[in-house]
Chain A
């Protein structure tokens, strides 16, 4: 059965159907094979609704809305101008800044899709203007946004911790090492890329110019304050911070800068709704698909057939990495964690692996998965928001995936990358 629905999905996907169709057709086939009764297909709809239910998803349209207002107005431009005055003269400076902004915003907002939108929409045009190729820009934005999974607070780690009964505090600390390592490697790649491709730099700005740029950015600097201060300070949940950002963006652009007119708010809200819908229908269809996979016990069968119980710790970690990598290729990361973690729990215990290390490795795989074809929320979001065809969005992803896979392998053989900080804090 697994093979049939997999084939249906891949064929429809490659033929160029809207991506919800391969998922829904595969799900429908699965239902018919499981129950032989078209009466049960109502539950495809139940699971689509379940997929778009999580309260944390509300942050996505809110951040899209705030980012769109900031980008159409002046806030985003002023913030980027300020950063450019400091790093514009460095080879790859803008790319490194983008990667850092994605990491920080993603870390705090907890939503990689929101990061793609909020950081990507203002910075992509600027990077294109600076001479970076679009394939590189898109891949950088998508992959750097996913570092967010590893830096606390991380929804993926919380869910892993809850269902595997692992200390979430330790997981959070353990994620920081690999997260920063990824940022460093992405930055290094960006600088090499900028040097090899000869991306031009701007003349170095004087301290006077820098000061002027900071002054112009004083109002918009309220955004990072709201997001970082609000969330880490315990004032808002990420969703609420997003909504407060919307309010602040409206205040700045319509009242302070007067860069937008009220009728534009309608257009912006409608465009936010459109992007939300095309991404969420895929999240819903993915949830429906994963229900079939889970009900049919497909992961259990595959694992039983490869004999995971006879493997040593490294083998088990490798299988876990591969399983999550593949799982995240097809469905939403949170769903993958919910389904696969309980399946692996007994094996992890029996070979005596540190559940914190396992959680970190799983979170890393989940991060890779959301940015890797064929299915990846961040890819969908980038397609929806930047209106680029699928192939353009994934064209530049390969080098980043290589870096991510190297870090995965490194984590298996040098667990101290993750556990060093944890041991320092807790042992």
Chain B
């Protein structure tokens, strides 16, 4: 059969590369084919999610930032300084974590979704119009965030004025100074040209962008054991590929930004400079538990345990 797979980025971005690898693996090991639908071709993130839940699509890639409206616990990925920026550690974590591979699988199943894989898209960088060395530098900066309550809380705690704005308005908003900052993984800064309208890139190590591939559960449960294995293997091989791929991606895309805009300053904050961001993180963590209750706390604790267990 021809399976439909929608995701939130372009074909050449991380989600697109992952999707292409997944498609290749499935088509090589079965008679099934996969049609890929990149960003916007079937609607926005919430739309493709609903289409997958209803079985119009078989696979959807959605970042937990958007899933938060459906599964509050998924907002845990926005607790600052929870995930490490060390990509090897992250790779081991996603592969072996009980929180990811058991707890979240259950939470997604409640929504009619089979969670196939969670994978990292790279460290989140802040891009701004004036340099950022500490939280004080974010004072009165209107900082664009995704419409996600925990992200709003984070940037409030960092001292900025969080401004939720749909992605389509971010470039124009930066250009016309409605907002003065936004955050995204490095490759996205280059591919979406956001670097053209900001002057400073800052790495505070506060987060690593996570995304997830899932299937319609009814569809998945209806597959033969053999077909399920093909799907699982494809997700696993795409995961392995993407972890290696995106490790060097941040550096290569950063080089492209430097080449296109030599005046761009790139700052990696020192531990002292990160202190105020880390202090703010505790506040956000408390807020997360307040918003998600016992279930949220359990996931958070499990993730911390899993992260410790996968440290080397």
Contacts and interface: CB of A to CB of B under 8 A. Distances in A.
A and B: real partners? yes
A55 interface: yes
Interface string A53-64: 111100000000
A168 B42 contact: no
A150 to B, nearest CB: 16
Contacts of B108: none
A163 interface: yes
A147 B257 CA distance: 32
A344 interface: no
B184 to A, nearest CB: 12
A168 B10 contact: no
Interface residues of B, number: 37
Interface in A31-51: 35, 40, 42-43, 46-47, 50
Contact of B47 (A47, A55, A345): A47
Contacts, number: 101
B168 A158 contact: yes
Nearest to B173: A237
A359 to B, nearest CB: 12
A153 interface: yes
Nearest to B44: A50
Contact of A158 (B47, B172, B190, B191): B172
B24 to A, nearest CB: 16
A167 interface: yes
Interface string A163-177: 111111100000000
B37 A294 contact: yes
Contact of A237 (B47, B54, B172, B192): B172
B192 A338 contact: no
B43 A168 contact: no
B169 A56 contact: yes
A35 B56 contact: yes
B37 A162 contact: no
A40 B54 contact: yes
A295 B50 CA distance: 15
Interface in A229-244: 231-237, 240
B196 A167 contact: yes
B248 interface: no
B178 A158 contact: no
User: Quick one: which of A35, A166, A168, A236 has the most chain B CB within 10 A?
Assistant: A168
Nearest to B6: A295
A110 to B, nearest CB: 8
Given A232-B176, A234-B177, A237-B173, A294 B41 contact: yes
A338 B41 contact: yes
A163 B40 contact: yes
- Judged by DSSP, the binding face of B is loop
Contact of A162 (B4, B47, B192, B197): B192
Nearest to A34: B56
Contacts of A338: 39-41
Nearest to B16: A342
B171 interface: yes
A159 B178 contact: no
B166 interface: yes
Contacts of A54: 166, 168
B107 to A, nearest CB: 23
A161 interface: yes
Nearest to A172: B175
Nearest to A47: B43
B35 interface: yes
B42 A158 contact: no
A152 to B, nearest CB: 9
B249 interface: no
Nearest to A297: B35
Given A55-B169, A234-B177, A345-B11, A50 B56 contact: no
Contacts of B29: none
Nearest to A294: B41
A342 B175 CA distance: 25
A232 B175 CA distance: 9
A165 B178 CA distance: 23
B263 to A, nearest CB: 13
B47 A46 contact: yes
Contacts of B166: 54-55
A295 B42 contact: yes
B292 interface: no
Interface in A153-208: 153, 155, 158-159, 161-169
Given A234-B178, A237-B176, A342-B10, A294 B168 contact: no
Interface in B39-74: 39-44, 47, 50-51, 54-56
B38 interface: yes
Contacts of B40: 163, 338-339
A291 interface: yes
A153 B54 contact: no
Contacts of A47: 43, 47
B270 interface: no
B43 A46 contact: yes
A153 B178 contact: no
B170 to A, nearest CB: 9
B252 interface: no
Given A40-B56, A158-B171, A237 B178 contact: yes
B311 interface: no
Nearest to A55: B166
Interface in A124-166: 153, 155, 158-159, 161-166
B80 to A, nearest CB: 27
B171 A168 contact: yes
B193 to A, nearest CB: 5
Contacts of B169: 55-56, 237
Contact of A167 (B50, B172, B178, B193): B193
Given A158-B172, A342-B41, 4 more contacts: A43-B50, A153-B172, A168-B193, A338-B41
Interface of A: 35, 40, 42-43, 46-47, 50, 53-56, 110, 153, 155, 158-159, 161-169, 231-237, 240, 291, 294-295, 297, 338-339, 342, 345
15 contacts: A43-B50, A43-B51, A47-B43, A50-B43, A55-B166, A55-B169, A56-B168, A153-B175, A161-B193, A164-B10, A167-B260, A233-B176, A233-B177, A294-B41, A338-B41
Closest 4 CB pairs between A and B? A234-B177, A338-B40, A234-B176, A165-B191
